[in-house]
Structure 1
Amino acid sequence: MKYMLNRLSFYLLAFLVAVTINFFLPRLMPGDPIQSFLGRLAKNGGQITPETIAALEALYGYSSTTPLWDQFIQYLSSILAGEWGMSTRFFQPVFDVLGRGMIWTLLLVGSYLIVSYLITTLLGIYVAWKRGTWTDSIITVGSVVISSIPSVVMAIAMYFIFASNLEWFPTGYAYEPSLDPNLSFEFIGSVAYHLILPLLCMVALGMNNVMGMRSNMINQLGEDFIVMGWAKGVKDKKVMLQYGARNAILPMITSFAMSVGAIFGGSLIIEIIFNYPGLGQVMFQAMLARDYPLIQGYLMIMTIMVLGANFIADCLLFILDPRLRTQLD
């Protein structure tokens, strides 16, 4: 219990630091969200008065004349109260805008985590067991080459080859626009069909995890308890899965937690290229419009996701690894 409380305290402190960075980072960007909005308003023929500017600053909680420290105190109060402000780009509460994109991003990222880590873990175990063979060479070299391709290049290539030219997959959206969202087989099938290409792209980029699992597995195969298992005549399959893989997978839990931020960052680029309506699209439009509340809301969600994933990983390691509990006792 003491260990969990210490870890929880650490993540709460990290959250406060991230909130501070989250506040100042958008304000370091050139531009002004209110002026950006007024520019769009003037372009559409709207009338700009001092009263209009004052009303917008009150609505969006931003004022160029208010000291940063006062803005920061107000921002912290709003965060604790669960009020993340209004989007200057969509003219809706930040929660509502992010909520719509979050559904599709969680579907994409969640599917990636399940599919990718299942594939790479099993492949890593297999090639470690077959180390030194042609199978090992082909899979390990192939995984390194594929994962070394920049995400932008991979996404653009897959988009033009499989969606634009061959027309095997749709060129955008999360489902067929003519369908109404419901739990029908037609709608679910359309969602799965639109998900395939972005998911394949992310899985291909995550193939470097094969090397990590392979390395962990090879290290385990040299341990005394593995040799003892072979000496006792334990079947190879049991030695590989129950003896070696069970311990080799523990570092992969930490690796998974640490990669959550990079996964969401990679999904941002992929969502933009594949025109997938997730948080990546929302963030892209927010940056173009200098939408501070929406940018801060997005970064806040990423912070919660990363810290939450690392805290869950710490809990899992504490439960699964008896050596850690022994050291703490």
Structure 2
Amino acid sequence: MKYILSRFGFYMLAFMAAVTINFFLPRMMPGDPIQSFLARLAQNGGNVSPEMIASLEALYGYSTNVPLFNQFITYIGAIFSGEWGMSTRFFAPVFDVLGRGMLWTLLLVGVYLIVSYTITTLLGIYVAWKRGTWADSVITVGSVIISSTPSVVMALAMYFLFASNLQWFPTGYAYDPQLDPALSFEFIGSVMHHIALPLTCMVALGMGNVMGMRSNMINQLGEDFIVMGWAKGVKDDKVMLQYGARNAVLPMITTFAMSIGGIFGGSLIIEIIFNYPGLGQITYQAILARDYPLVQGYLLIMTAMVLGANFIADCLLFVLDPRLRTELEQ
């Protein structure tokens, strides 16, 4: 329990440091969200008065008359109260805008994590057990080549081939716009059809994890307890899965947690190219419109997810790895 509390305190400090950077970084960027909004309003023939400017600055929390430190204190309080400000791009509360995109991003990333790590873990175990064979050479070389392809190139190639040219998959949206969201086979089938292509692209880009699992498994196969298992006549399947794979998976938990940030960053590009209505698509529009409150909200969510995933990984390692518990008790 002492270990878990210490890790929780560490991640809370990291979260507060990230929140501080999240507040000051957008304000160091050139441009102003209020002026950007007023420029779009003026282009559409709207009248801009000093009273309107003052009202907008008060609404969005960017008043030039309030000291920056006071704005920061207000911002900290707003984070924990759920008042993340108003979006200057979508004219709605940031929390509500991000909530709409969060559903689809969590679906995409969640299914990806389950599918990708299941495939790469099993393939890594298999090629380590069959090391030196043609299967080992084909799978390892192929996974390295596929995962080394830039995500933009992979996504564009799959989009133009399968969606634009062959038209096997839709070119956008999370489901057929003609359908009403409901727990029906038709709606669920439409959601899976729309998510299939971006999901396949992300799984292909994550094939590099095969090499990590392969290395962990090979290291375990050289341990004394594996040799002892073979010497006692234990079946190969049991040695491979219960002896070797069980211990080889432990480092992958840490790798999995550390990759969360990269996965969400990669999903941003995937969502933009495939026109998938998740957090990536929303954030892209927010960046173009200099919607600082929305960008800050996105970065805050990503920070919380990455730190939360690492904290869960630390707890899992503490529970699953007796060597770690023994080391901490000494």
Matches within 5 A, 1:125-204: 125-204=125-204
Q: Paired residue for 1:216? A: 216
Moved more, 116-125 or 289-298: 289-298
Q: Paired residue for 2:278? A: 278
Moved more, 58-67 or 178-187: 58-67
Deviation at 1:163? Answer: 0.4
Matches within 5 A, 1:295-314: 295-314=295-314
Matched to 1:323, the amino acid is R
Deviation at 1:82? Answer: 1.9
Matched to 1:181, the amino acid is P
Distance in structure 2 (CA, Å) of the matches to 1:81 and 1:46: 34
Distance in structure 2 (CA, Å) of the matches to 1:12 and 1:130: 44
Moved more, 225-234 or 62-71: 62-71
Distance in structure 1 (CA, Å) of the matches to 2:108 and 2:188: 14
Distance in structure 2 (CA, Å) of the matches to 1:151 and 1:26: 26
Q: Paired residue for 1:269? A: 269
Matched to 1:243, the amino acid is Y
Distance in structure 2 (CA, Å) of the matches to 1:80 and 1:172: 35
Contact 2:82 2:95 in 1 (8 A): no
Q: Paired residue for 1:14? A: 14
Distance in structure 2 (CA, Å) of the matches to 1:147 and 1:27: 36
Q: Paired residue for 2:87? A: 87
Q: Provide Cα deviations, 1:245-291, integer angstroms capped at 9, x if missing partner.
A: 00000000000000000000000000000000000011001101111
Distance in structure 1 (CA, Å) of the matches to 2:144 and 2:29: 36
Runs of 4 or more, structure 1, over 6 Å off, are: none
Unaligned runs of 5+ in 1: none
Deviation at 1:74? Answer: 1.5
Q: Paired residue for 1:40? A: 40
Deviation at 1:37? Answer: 0.4
Contact 2:94 2:294 in 1 (8 A): yes
Distance in structure 1 (CA, Å) of the matches to 2:285 and 2:66: 26
Q: Paired residue for 1:50? A: 50
Secondary structure at the counterpart of residue 31 of structure 1: coil
Distance in structure 2 (CA, Å) of the matches to 1:171 and 1:295: 26
Q: Paired residue for 2:239? A: 239
**Is residue 102 of structure 1 aligned with residue 102 of structure 2?**
yes
Distance in structure 2 (CA, Å) of the matches to 1:92 and 1:172: 23
Distance in structure 1 (CA, Å) of the matches to 2:268 and 2:26: 17
Distance in structure 1 (CA, Å) of the matches to 2:127 and 2:284: 40
Distance in structure 2 (CA, Å) of the matches to 1:44 and 1:314: 53
Aligned residues: 329
Contact 2:120 2:210 in 1 (8 A): yes
Q: Paired residue for 1:328? A: 328
Contact 2:162 2:169 in 1 (8 A): yes
Q: Provide Cα deviations, 1:102-150, integer angstroms capped at 9, x if missing partner.
A: 0000000000000000000000000000000110000000000000000
Secondary structure at the counterpart of residue 295 of structure 1: helix
Unaligned runs of 5+ in 2: none
Distance in structure 2 (CA, Å) of the matches to 1:64 and 1:35: 12
Moved more, 319-328 or 106-115: 319-328
TM-score (norm 1): 0.99
Deviation at 1:28? Answer: 2.2
TM-score (norm 2): 0.99
Deviation at 1:78? Answer: 1.1
Q: Paired residue for 2:254? A: 254
Distance in structure 1 (CA, Å) of the matches to 2:18 and 2:270: 25
Matched to 2:11, the amino acid is Y
Deviation at 1:66? Answer: 3.0
Q: Percent identity?
A: 81
Question: For the aligned residues, what is the CA RMSD?
Answer: 0.7
Distance in structure 2 (CA, Å) of the matches to 1:240 and 1:300: 42
Deviation at 1:64? Answer: 3.2
Moved more, 204-213 or 70-79: 70-79
Q: Paired residue for 1:121? A: 121
Distance in structure 1 (CA, Å) of the matches to 2:197 and 2:219: 35
Q: Provide Cα deviations, 1:218-266, integer angstroms capped at 9, x if missing partner.
A: 0000000000000000000000000000000000000000000000000
